[in-house]
Amino acid sequence: MKKVEIYTKSYCSYCRRAKELLHRKGVRFIEYDVTDNPDLELEMRQRSGRTTVPEIFIDDALVGGCDNLFTLEQRGSLERMLEE
C-alpha cells in the first residue's frame, strides 16, 4: 500500500470526513495537525500550493482536499491509486 499523508486542523469537519473515509477503507495514513504549528502549515502550503485543509497526498502526489478524495472514491479511482 502507498504512503498516505493528510494535513489537518483539529476543528475542521472536512478533515474529520476525509479521515473517516480513509479509516473505513482501512488506509493507514500519517496525519500532520497544523492547528497550532505555523511551520508545518507553511510546509503544507509549499507542498500543495493551497491554503485550506485537509490536504491529502498519496506517495507525495497531491490528491487535494476532502471533496477531491470523495470524488475519487465515487469514481472508483481511489482504490486504484492506493494499489498501484
Q: Is the pLDDT of residue 1 over 80?
A: no
How does DSSP assign 33-62, residue by residue?
E-TT-HHHHHHHHHHHS--SS-EEEETTEE
Domains of the chain are: 4-83 (3.40.30.10)
Residue 13: per-residue pLDDT: 98
pTM for the complete prediction?
0.94
pLDDT (tens digit per residue) in 25-80: 999 999 999 999 999 999 999 999 999 999 999 999 999 999 999 999 999 999 99
pLDDT tops 90 at residue 17: yes
pLDDT at 83: 87
Residue 77, C-beta contacts closer than 8 angstroms, at least 6 positions apart: none
